[in-house]
Amino acid sequence: MTTATRLTRRQIVTRRRLRIGLALVVFLFGIFGIRLFQIQGFDTSAYAAMADDAGTRSTVVPADRGEILDRNGVPLATSMSGMTLTADPSLTAENAPQIARILSETLGDDIDYFEAIEQLRTPNSRFVYLVKDLPAWSADAALKALQEADLNGVFAEQKSLRSYPGGSVAANLLGHLDASASGVGGLEQQYDALLKGTDGSATYTVSPSGQRIPLADSDVTEMVPGSDVITTIDRDLQWYADQRLAEAVQMSSADWGLAITMDVKTCQVLQMSQVPTFDPDAGSGMTPENTVSRAYQTVYEPGSVLKTVTMAALADQGKIAPDTPIVVPSGMNVDGFPIGDYWEHGVLNLTAAGVIAKSSNLGTIVAAQQMDDETMHSYFRKFGFGQSSGTGLPGESQGILLDASTWTRANHATISFGQGISVTAMQVVRAIGAIANGGSMCEPTVVSGFQSPDGVTSSEPAAEMTQVVSQDAARAVTTMMEAVTADDGTAPAAQIPGYRVAGKTGTAWRVDPESGTYIRGQNTVSFIGFAPADAPRFVTYVVLDKPYAAAGGGSTAAPVFHDVMTMALQRFGVVPTGAPSPTIAQEW
């Protein structure tokens, strides 16, 4: 063996090491290849999802809640674009003071600087709420300022914010939204599903710092806006009635007041006011006493306004007319209960019109004795008492009308003049509206139709009419009610120059809710009327609860009726008929 072909021990060792190294490299690449094949061939979906989750963010795109409009298309409740700011403390903790400073500078009173720092440094957290329900323009300004300062970790969630442009206007009819954006009370609750629409969603790619990557893939499901609800309310008349009622409540020191105006031909409610009320836009006055809708949820004893129903029932049976003579005693004792009129007098010779004009309890009792319990009860049921008024609004009360089988002589006597029966204001409006409409009654309505997101409008069916008394009976009672607003009646303050006005005052003792007994010296006073009396178009009802002791329906409620009815007649262009008021004898 030559020297050239002979390998040294060093060379043999080196070659052995190279072979071992090569084997190790091939082995490692083999493992990597097998793993790559497993990932690409079998676990593709799982790893793709993990990659997506690590670099994507999903958010709900809230549906715009439908608007609630007045009869002329003016928004009473609408929605606006808003945002809620959130943060990832793992990204914001280091720069919390700088982020909090920018947020406080751009958002002002909507955020507290020191509280924001604590939130931005929340330990062991990846999500905190910073500010909820901001207008979109305000949130955008804050996010832009943070982006310009190269501060990451603050994000925005889209919100649909509810706005009530009129503040407290028609608030008790509209209702409001709770923290979960669901309707509470009124139309917001009644038509919640229709107004809500359907939320959408958006998923998009973000950077490690949480910022959305422009032009990256995104997945968007479009939201579907809610439908609009078109009400029968006239916003201008509603606003005026709100102001006028508030003035009357303050001047009379009443606990609360309400006013309702309805078109007697269509039963569409034009305004429904309440004082005190609340402001759903500002979130003020949100107490149970203010948010309850007294027009259809609160029950009370109405007093003398229901004398008209008693007279209508008698007239429908042919037992009474405006000039029917009635001998009114100086007092009565029924089942041991003394009953009198609000003024002291001896025996009076009044006509039926005089009984209504002077609002005599005793004269009404005498007239009502021509009906037995069952007959009188049936007429009160025909006029809608003891049952829902039909508005469909949530929480509506049916009132209380005792079954005729339980009546005593005292029940028969007091119910005839509006005590011993509990009603809602909407029930009274419906009943007197029937007298104004020639004895034909329909259910009050506050909604005329709906408008879908694509602009298609649908109308609610017209109110169905039910004849509860004859036209002759309705005309007879209307004549009696015109005597109330005459110069020698109990409510001359309800007169409207150029128009014939029919009306009726009401004064009733208030009931102690705890003891169930009457509270002497505390009354619920009211006035209801319609005009023009000879061609009725509108009925307006005004109620004041617990005013000053000497207050009466003719002196405190009738002036409110005058002003609200006058505006309604003018706003809807109802001209006087020109017919003279009838001469009505009150005595015989």
CATH of the domain at 446: 3.40.710.10
What whole-number distance in Å separates Cα of residue 143 and Cα of residue 231?
39
Q: What is the pLDDT of residue 132?
A: 86
Q: What is the CA radius of gyration of the chain?
A: 37
Q: Using CA atoms, how far apart are residues 522 and 548, in angstroms rounded to an integer?
A: 8
For residue 273, being part of any structural domain is answered with no
Q: How far apart are CA 128 and CA 82, in angstroms?
A: 18
Backbone angles phi, psi at 82, to 5 degrees: -140, 175
Select which of 168, 252, 304, 440 is catalytic. Answer: 304
Query: Which pLDDT score, from 0 to 100, does residue 16 have?
Result: 74
Question: Does 175 map to a domain?
Answer: yes
Euclidean distance between the first and the last CA atom of the chain, given in angstroms as a whole number: 162
User: What is this structure's pTM?
Assistant: 0.84
Q: Is 63 left (phi over 0), alpha (psi -120 to 50) or beta?
A: beta
Greatest extent of the chain over all pairs of C-alpha atoms, in Å? 162
Q: Tell me if 320 is assigned to some domain.
A: yes
Task: Answer whether residue 32 is part of any domain.
Answer: yes
Residue 393 lies in a domain: yes
What confidence score (pLDDT) does residue 51 get?
A: 46
pLDDT digits (tens, 9 = 90+) for 72-118: 999 999 998 888 899 999 999 999 999 999 999 999 888 999 999 99
Least Cα distance to 351 among 467, 471, 486, 469 occurs for 486
- Mark whether 75 and 224 lie in a shared domain: yes
pLDDT of residue 323: 96
User: Is the domain of 218 the same as that of 81?
Assistant: yes
CATH assignment of the domain containing 105:
3.90.1310.10
Position 275 in a domain? no
Q: Which residues pair with 509 in a beta bridge?
A: 523
Q: Which amino acid is at 491?
A: A
341 and 406 part of one domain? yes
Task: Kindly give the parts of the chain with pLDDT less than 70.
Answer: 1-7, 9-14, 25, 32-33, 35-59, 204-219
Q: CA–CA distance from 100 to each of 143, 153, 420 (Å)? A: 12, 12, 64
d(CA 334, CA 411): 9
- Six token digits for residue 151: 């501060």
What three-state secondary structure class fits 587? strand
Rounded to the nearest angstrom, the gap between the alpha carbon of residue 97 and the centroid of all alpha carbons in its chain is 43
Q: Let me know whether 65 and 41 are in one domain.
A: no
34 and 66 together in one domain: no
Residue 125 is among the residues annotated as catalytic for this protein: no
The reply to whether 116 and 139 lie within a common domain is yes
Residue 323 and residue 448 in one domain: yes
| CA distance linking residue 105 with residue 465, whole number of Å | 61
Residue 1 lies in a domain: yes
| Of the residues 229, 254, 271, the one at which a domain ends | 229
Residues 6+ apart with CB under 8 A from 529: 481, 484, 485, 491, 494, 501, 502, 503, 504, 539, 540, 558, 561, 565
Q: Please indicate, yes or no, whether residues 137 and 12 belong to a single structural domain of this protein.
A: no
Range of the domain at 70: 57-229
Flag whether 349 is in a domain.
yes
Single-letter amino acid, residue 211 = Q
DSSP class of residue 527 equals E
For residue 38, the model assigns a pLDDT of 60
- Are 97 and 167 found together in one domain? yes
CA dist 407 and 375 (Å) reads: 12
- How many other CB atoms are found less than 10 A from the CB of residue 31? 9
Rounded alpha-carbon distances, angstroms, from residue 249 to 30, 167, 244, 427, 560:
91, 19, 9, 22, 10
The confidence score (pLDDT) of residue 516 equals 81
Helix (H) or strand (E) holding 219: strand 218-221
Strands (E), 344-486: 348-351, 440-441, 447-451, 457-459, 466-467
Domain count, the chain: 3
Between strands 228-231 and 68-69, the pairing is parallel
- In contact, 241 and 277? CB cutoff 8 Å: no
Q: Assess whether 19 and 131 both reside in one domain.
A: no
Q: Are residues 28 and 108 in the same domain?
A: no
Is it true that the peptide bond before 536 is cis, omega within 30 degrees of 0? no
pLDDT reported for residue 512: 84
